Amino acid sequence: MEERVTEGPADTTEGRAGAKPRAARELTRRVMVGGVPVGGGASVSVQSMCTTKTSDPAATLSQIRGLAAEGCEIIRVAIPNAGALDGFGEVCAMSPLPVVADIHFDHRLAIEACRRGAAALRINPGNIGSFERVDAVIEEAGSASIPIRIGVNAGSLDREVDQRRDLSLPQKLVASAEAFVRHFEERGFRDVVLSAKAHSVPTTLATYRELSRRLPHVPLHVGVTEAGTLRQGTVKNCAGVGILLEQGIGDTLRLSLTADPVEEVRVAWDLLSALGMRRLHPELVSCPTCGRCQVDLIGMAERVSERLQGVEAPISVAVMGCVVNGPGEARDADLGVACGRGQGLLFQNGEPIRKVPEGQIVDELFREIEERYGSKA
């Protein structure tokens, strides 16, 4: 898939006098999840998680392929019990994406997942039971040369930290995460990615900012967890993750939604595109309409948005309500239309191409798009 990489977000870390300041994500250590680089200035990668069971490898692989087609780059699957390991090896062998095994409580599952082809593990060391068991996982992952994501979660903090009354929730998450990272590093295991998730946006921001400050070398997996269904979850993730990314924090992301995981991937790309960091799909620029508009612009924009799903090139397409401000407001769009009474003016990069009757605007716009950029079909 073609990707458009545009100007990144503002950098926040202090550089030497006269030197360009470097974003926090450029300072993290690079870890490879399969063939996908995470950290060390790599592009922020998009992750999601299967809702299928690995004991049904056909269903799981089908879902992974669908997510890959939407731009997912790393996929995670749950391994809740020994039965989940049955199809896991087949999933790893056939998956077009690196597969991360998500394991809680039972370190033996993590060890076995390493042996069956996991590209990475995700564990919460706080619920593995003991450091001896965590160390056994570290040793196996080291032998398999795969990274481990230390995934701390506000809902499952280890008991000792959780009971401390002197710490706020972000401080508990940071204390827990930092202790785990130090433990891994003391054992010589450095292929670590870190997450410390909460459902609250302010908690997420405070936690990740502090993690980035205290552990600047550790790549961060960012996301707002248990964020809710499509609309609320999108808002919470885009607020929390968007602010962090804009501040240079975050090396890979998963935007948790109570929805089809395809939506997580779509929203993730929309967020990266909105931040000017990465664009994989076409972007629609459409005005909010006002008293100057003389067409059904909302209906037209929805039809254009739907048909843009059939276009692979990461272009921007503008649908504007009037010729007074339309082309000027959407000068950066690759192609667009500015509507007037009974007709639309097609334009490219703000310059007029030709006028078309109102009833043919969408078809003519797509004739121009497909001539220049083709379609998926």
Min dist CB 297 to ligand SF4, Å, is 7
Q: Among 16, 19, 288, 341, indicate the residue that binds ligand SF4 (CB under 6 A).
A: 288
Tell the smallest beta-carbon distance from residue 308 to ligand SF4 (Å). 19
Q: Which of 118, 86, 121 is nearest to 102 (CA)?
A: 121
Q: Which C-beta is closer to ligand SF4: that of 267 or that of 295?
A: 295
Kindly indicate which of the ranges 32-40, 179-187, 219-227, 289-297 contains the residues binding ligand SF4, using the contact rule CB under 6 A: 289-297
Minimum CB separation from ligand SF4 for residue 300, in Å? 12
What is the smallest separation between the CB atom of 306 and ligand SF4, expressed in angstroms? 20
Which string of x and - marks every residue 11-40 that binds ligand SF4 (by CB under 6 A)? ------------------------------
How many residues make contact with ligand SF4 (CB under 6 A)?
A: 13
Residue number with CB closer to ligand SF4 (36 or 319): 319
Segment lying near ligand SF4 (by CB under 6 A), choices 20-28, 80-88, 325-333, 359-367 = 325-333
User: How many Å apart are CA 90 and CA 69, to the nearest integer?
Assistant: 20
Among 13, 55, 325, 348, binds ligand SF4 (CB under 6 A): 325
Among 55, 289, 305, 348, binds ligand SF4 (CB under 6 A): 289
* The one segment of 149-157, 208-216, 290-298, 352-360 that binds ligand SF4 by CB under 6 A: 290-298
> 75 with 95: CB under 8 angstroms?
yes
Burial 241-251 (b: 16+ CB within 10 A, else e): bbbbbbbbbbb
Interacting residue with ligand SF4 among 34, 87, 321, 344 (CB under 6 A): 321
With contacts defined by CB under 6 A, name the span among 194-202, 303-311, 321-329, 361-369 that binds ligand SF4: 321-329
From the CB of 279, what's the least distance to ligand SF4, in Å?
23
Secondary structure, 3-state, the chain? CCCECCCCCCCCCCCCCCCCCCCHHHHCCCEEECCEEECCCCCCEEEEECCCCCCCHHHHHHHHHHHHHHCCCEEEEECCCHHHHCCHHHHHHHCCCCEEEEECCCHHHHHHHHHCCCCEEEECHHHCCCHHHHHHHHHHHHHHCCCEEEEEEHHHCCHHHHCCCCCCHHHHHHHHHHHHHHHHHHCCCCCEEEEEECCCHHHHHHHHHHHHHHCCCCCEEECCCCCCCHHHHHHHHHHHHHHHHHCCCCCEECCCCCCCHHHHHHHHHHHHHHCCCCECCCEEEECCCCCCCCCCHHHHHHHHHHHHCCCCCCCEEEEECCCCCHHHHCCCCCEEEEEECCEEEEEECCEEEEEEEHHHHHHHHHHHHHHHHCCCC
With CB atoms as reference, the residue minimizing the distance to ligand SF4 is: 321
Selected from 49, 255, 304, 322, the binder of ligand SF4 by CB under 6 A is 322
For ligand SF4, the closer of residues 13 and 325 by Cβ is: 325
| CA–CA dist 24, 39 (Å, integer) | 10
Least CB distance from residue 318 to ligand SF4, whole Å? Answer: 9
Task: Identify the residue among 154, 238, 320, 365 touching ligand SF4 (CB under 6 A).
Answer: 320
101 binds ligand SF4 per the rule CB under 6 A: no
CB of 305 to ligand SF4, least distance (A): 16
Give me the least distance between CB of 93 and ligand SF4, in Å please: 52
C-alpha span between 232 and 217 (Å, rounded): 32
49, 102 in Cβ contact below 8 A?
yes
CB of 292 to ligand SF4, least distance (A): 4
Q: C-beta of 320: minimal distance to ligand SF4 in Å? A: 4
Binding footprint of ligand SF4 on the chain (CB under 6 A): 287-290, 292-293, 320-322, 324-326, 329
